[in-house]
Amino acid sequence: MRPDARAWFSGRTTSARSLADLDVAALLRAKRRGGHRVSVVLPARDEEATVGRLAGEVVDRWVRRVPLVDEVLVVDSDSTDRTADVARAAGADVVAAADVLPAHGTRPGKGEALWKSLAATTGDLLVFLDADLLGDVTHYVPGLLAPLLTDPQVGYVKGCYTRPLEVGGRVTPAGGGRVTELTARPLLNALWPELAGVVQPLGGEYAGRRAALERVPFLSGYGVEVGLLVDLLGLLGLGGLAQVDLGVRRHTSQDTDALGRMAGQVVSAVLARSGAAGTAGLLTQFRAGDGGFDPVSTPVAVDERPPMSTVAEYRAARAGAV
Ligand SMILES: O=c1ccn([C@@H]2O[C@H](COP(=O)(O)OP(=O)(O)O)[C@@H](O)[C@H]2O)c(=O)[nH]1
Ligand SMILES: O=C(O)[C@@H](COP(=O)(O)O)O[C@H]1O[C@H](CO)[C@@H](O)[C@H](O)[C@H]1O
Task: Note down pLDDT in tens along the chain; length 322 residues.
Answer: 999 999 999 999 999 999 999 999 999 999 999 999 999 999 999 999 999 999 999 999 999 999 999 999 999 999 999 999 999 999 999 999 999 999 999 999 999 999 999 999 999 999 999 999 999 999 999 999 999 999 999 999 999 999 999 888 888 999 999 999 999 999 999 999 999 999 999 999 999 999 999 999 999 999 999 999 999 999 999 999 999 999 999 998 899 999 999 999 999 999 999 998 766 689 999 999 888 999 999 999 999 999 999 999 999 999 987 6
Pairing of strands 250-251, 133-134: antiparallel
Atom number of ligand 1 nearest to Cα 43: 24
Q: How far apart are CA 159 and CA 144, in angstroms?
A: 7
**Structural domain harbouring 92:** 3-320
Closest C-alpha residue for ligand 1 atom 6 = 44
Ligand nearest, relative to CA of residue 98: 1
Gyration radius of the chain over CA positions: 19
Write out the H or E segment, with its range, that includes residue 135.
Answer: none
132 lines ligand 1 (CB under 6 A): yes
Ligand nearest, relative to CA of residue 47: 1
CATH number of domain containing 52? 3.90.550.10
Amino acid, res. 200: Q
Beta bridge partners of 42: 74
State yes or no: ipTM above 0.85. Answer: yes
Q: How distant, in Å, are the alpha carbons of 218, 223, 237 from that of 230?
A: 11, 11, 10
CA–centroid distance, 153 to ligand 2, in Å, is: 28
CA–centroid distance, 258 to ligand 2, in Å, is: 11
16 lines ligand 1 (CB under 6 A): no
The count of domains in the chain is: 1
